[in-house]
Structures are given as structure tokens and as C-alpha cells.
Structure 1
Amino acid sequence: MAELVPSDLSQSLASEIGQLVAAFSIGFAQASRSSNQLDAHLRGSGTLVQVRSTRAILTAHHVLDALPTSGELGLIMSPYVGAHTVEVEALQYLKIARGTEDEQGPDLGAVILPAVLPSSLTAKKSFANLDKHWERIASGQPELRDGLWCLCGLQDALTRDFEPALGFKKLKRFAGFCPIGQVNEAPPIENYDYLSFPIPHGPNSPMPGNIGGTSGGGLWQILLKQEADCRIRPVDCLLSGLAFYQGPIENGWSRVRCHGRKSVYDIARNAIQNAIAM
């Protein structure tokens, strides 16, 4: 995943932020077979999280609806060549909340992972500990205007097929940009909170017009510190929401509707915790 950089943000800082959040980010793929040839299709994005001793992938409810119900679930987690899968039977699809209108929400879900995880997953990715993140937020919740915000996910419009190579009959590349910017608070609805994250489009932006595939991706608040040498660096990285709906493009911008901290920590975290106890 690459970072999308605001014009007044240094490339080195943007790269550091992108690497931080990408470590916790993952994509979902579903395999299919046509004319005896295996293929894979992007189904959404998610964030690797941990609640107590249980590990899961936080995502959107409508992403769960698109995942396979049997066989294998593909996990997109590395910039290197390789197909990583996990048996669906070993997973629990936790459907937390889904509203009647896609744009309004709520739209929350999670994939509960097995106790024993594939070594490829634990070696290449990290899990955001929601209990520790909540302690950090509860002790002094940063203002929305503090630092920078980064939305991390994959975009299906960037998926590309390649000719056979490296011993594979077919190669497919999944890709995504992680735009960096600011958020706006949106009105809450019942017990759910919402944020709006604007992203740029057009000739000067690498973001595709349709960012389908980003749904379920994590929205992170990056707190910054200026060092003695005047270099600005990230000092804290807080999972603060997840994306679930892209609005129309107006004047070169679209707004991505996201759940906020209350939805993630009061609702999703508790739902994962209760699922563990069942």
C-alpha cells in the first residue's frame, strides 16, 4: 500500500506513516476457477486487532456478506509474491451491526481468527491491541484536529493481471493508496458515531474515482512531535475508525463515511469480547 501525500507534507513523513498503518492492514480475496484456471477477486479491507487474547480482523458488515462461506479465504498482506489463505471453517464471521441504508450505517463486522494462526500472518503483520488503545484514548482523548489522519485500504480499480512468471501460471497484483489528511465529525446516529474523511481525485491525484475495496479499512489518527532538529515524526498511531461508504465526487473530492472511536471501542471491541465468551 502506498501513501497519498498532501502537498505540504514531506514524502519521508508520509512514507513513515504509511508503513506504520500498513503493518496492521489486510485485504480479503475470494478465489474462483474458470476454464481450469485459478483467479482471485478483492472483497474488501480490514484491520488486524486483538481483544484480550483473541485476534480478529475488524471490517465492515457488508464486507463479511461478500466473503466466501466455505473453502478458503484469501488474505492480502504483503507486497511480495504469494497466495495466503485460511480455511473458512476455522473462522467466525461476526456481524455486529448493519443499517437499512448503506450511506447512513451502521456497518460493523469482524472476522474472528483461530487461536493458532498461520506463520505467514504472524511473521508479516501486527495486531492493534484494542484494549491498550482504549486505555490510551480514555486517559486523554486527542482532539480530532490533532496530528494527521490516514485511511488504509485497497482499491479494486488498481488491481492488475500480469503474464505468467516466477513459476506461477498467473499473477495478480492488488494495490491501494493510504490517503493522509484530516477528518470532519459527522452527526451521531443512535449509539454510533461517524467521521467524514475527504479524499482528492482528478489528474493530480493517484486515487481512482471509485475506491471500492477500501470498505472495512482502518482510519488512523497519527499524533506528531517535532524533534530538536526540527524533523517531524509520528509518536502515536491510534486506530480511530473504519471506512464503509464513499460519497459522490464533487469538485474533485469525495467524502468517505467512517465509523469513529465510540463505534470501534464501545461497540465493536465489546462485541468481539462477548463473542470470545460464547
Structure 2
Amino acid sequence: MTDITSLIPGVGSQLADFSIGFAKLSTIAGREHVHPARSGALVSVGSIHGILTAAHVLEELPDSGEVGLIRFIREPKIQAQTIDMSLTERLTIRGSGEAADGPDIGFLRLASTQVATLNATTNIFFNLSRRQDSVLENRHPSTEYFEGISGIIAEWTINRGGAEAGFRHLLGFRGLFGVGCVAGVHDHDGYDLVSFETDRNENQNAPTDYGGWSGGALWRVYITQGTDGQPTVIERRIFGVAFHQSALVEGKRTITCHGPKSVYKNLLAEIARKWPST
């Protein structure tokens, strides 16, 4: 087994540019409140730009009004970025059976002005179209790789009090690129499902609840051995979307994700059907 420990911080920082969190906004007794509302990944499909996430994440967001976006950044920074949901369009693929069986995958199309704002704040849109053929044909840049999920961890929300930078009240949100083990892959009604295992016993700093990860991207990171014998990252690909977590059993949770076929075949086909002119 290649020791990838030294690679994880750098990879997590790079994937932060593609990652996003949602935040619901409300006003109670004249005071603004912010609530983390799970995760997503910034992606493009042809000329279409938007947020890849889980269907149930989009279903819990309002059709109009402002929704906050939590950008994943390398250093803590006060953020107040929002999008007008009335300018977006959504696509959801949702099953009616058990939650863990799916399908549960969604796409929020952003308006051109919203895309421009995100591009101006260093976020990047991952091009799914460019990787579609190689992913579906199982052409991989390397036989060595590891996998992880990038998303908001709701239980790590920090109440930072007030009086900082002129604000009466601040909340701190934290994200995680968590590396784990893909324990199995199976098909259900034409969608591939990936079982991604976390293990708190191996990392006592890990969260106990990964609920905020819903909608976060499952990444596959391909590596090779450098001339100095150390592992080197050669490519990063979105390989799925997290949408369900199991109960905590002996320090472990299983995160169920849609796999590459669900994203690059099923979802992209639905996007082409919904917006054929683009």
C-alpha cells in the first residue's frame, strides 16, 4: 500500500475550489440566522454551469429568495455570498423507495451572473463533459488511486459570538475532505451505488455525524510514483455524489454515494434532455 498521508492536505486544498456548501437564511425577532444546508460541487456540462448535489438537498431549498453559499477556502474568512434561487433552475432524480437505495441525485443550474461571481472568487467549475468518455469506458490515468468525499460537516458549526469585524453575531463553518474505503459497488434500478466507509477508530478527530456531507462529491485521486519514490497526484476526478449515511456501528459509518455511471451517464443524459439547446 502506498502511503498517501502526505498528499491529503494538498489534495483537500485543491478540491476546495470546486466544493460548495448551502446555507438557509432566516430572520427571527429581527435577527438574521444561518443554518448549514448540506453540500455540493461546482460543475460544468457543455455550456451549462451549476451545482452537482443530491436531490433531497435541492428539495429542502426554497424556490425563491436568497440562499447562502459557503465557499471552501484555505484560510478562515468572513463570507456573505448568496444566490437568488428564482434565477436558478433545478433537476432532481428521486426514487420513492428506501432512502439508501436512491436514486437521489440533483443539479442546480446557475444563471450566468451567478457563475461569473463564483469565477471571480477563485471557485472553479469541474468539467464533467471532458471526462465523460474516459470514465464510462473505464479508461484510467493510473492503476493507483484513493477516494474521498468533500463537503460541509454540520456538527462542526462554531458559534463565534459577536463584535468581530463589526458583526453582532458570526457562525463558523468547516468542511472536510475525508479519505475512506470503498467497500462495495452495486447497481439498483440502473444507478450504481458506492459504499464508502469511514472509521472513527482510526481518527479520533473525525466527526461522529456526516449529515452535512449529503450532496458532496466523491472524488477519485489518481497517483503515480515520482522519480524520488514518493507518490505524486496526476489527476482528480469526480466519481460520485454522497446522499445517505448509515447508523454509527462500532465507530464506523457507511456513506452511500451515486457512482460514476449515475453521474456521467444518467445525470448528463437528463441534463441534455432538459436543456437540449445547450
Question: Above 0.5 in TM-score?
Answer: yes
2:18 is aligned with 1:24: yes
Partner of residue 93 from structure 1, selected from 83, 90, 106: 90
Identify the range of structure 1 (56-65 vs 142-151) with the bigger mean alpha-carbon deviation: 142-151
Q: Secondary structure at the match of 2:99?
A: coil
1:17-56 alignment, distance < 5 Å: 17-56=11-50
1:207 shift after superposition: 2.2
Partner of residue 9 from structure 2, selected from 15, 19, 22: 15
What is aligned with 1:3?
A: none
2:70 is aligned with 1:76: yes
Structure 1 portions without partners, runs of 5+: 1-5
1:1-278 alignment, distance < 5 Å: 8-11=3-6, 13-79=7-73, 80-117=77-114, 119-123=116-120, 124-138=122-136, 140-142=138-140, 146-164=144-162, 165-202=164-201, 204-277=203-276
1:143/1:7 CA distance change after superposition, 3 Å = closer
* Alpha-carbon distance in structure 2 between the residues aligned to 1:253 and 1:47: 25
Aligned identity (percent) is 31
Deviations 1:48-98 (A, max 9, x none): 110110101011011011112221111111432111101111001211233
1:78/1:261 CA distance change after superposition, 3 Å = closer
* Alpha-carbon distance in structure 2 between the residues aligned to 1:137 and 1:9: 23
Letter in 2 for 1:206: N
**Kept after mapping to 2: 8 A contact 1:98/1:108:** no
**Kept after mapping to 1: 8 A contact 2:44/2:128:** yes
Q: Normalized against structure 1, the TM-score is what?
A: 0.91
Q: Secondary structure at the match of 2:255?
A: strand
1:198 shift after superposition: 0.5
Identify the range of structure 1 (195-204 vs 84-93) with the bigger mean alpha-carbon deviation: 195-204
Q: Secondary structure at the match of 2:118?
A: helix
* Alpha-carbon distance in structure 2 between the residues aligned to 1:139 and 1:65: 32
* Alpha-carbon distance in structure 2 between the residues aligned to 1:264 and 1:111: 14
**Kept after mapping to 2: 8 A contact 1:27/1:77:** yes
Structure 2 portions without partners, runs of 5+: none
Q: Normalized against structure 2, the TM-score is what?
A: 0.91
1:190/1:118 CA distance change after superposition, 3 Å = closer
* Alpha-carbon distance in structure 1 between the residues aligned to 2:131 and 2:117: 25
1:126/1:64 CA distance change after superposition, 3 Å = same
Q: Secondary structure at the match of 1:183?
A: strand
Number of aligned residues = 272
1:220 shift after superposition: 0.6
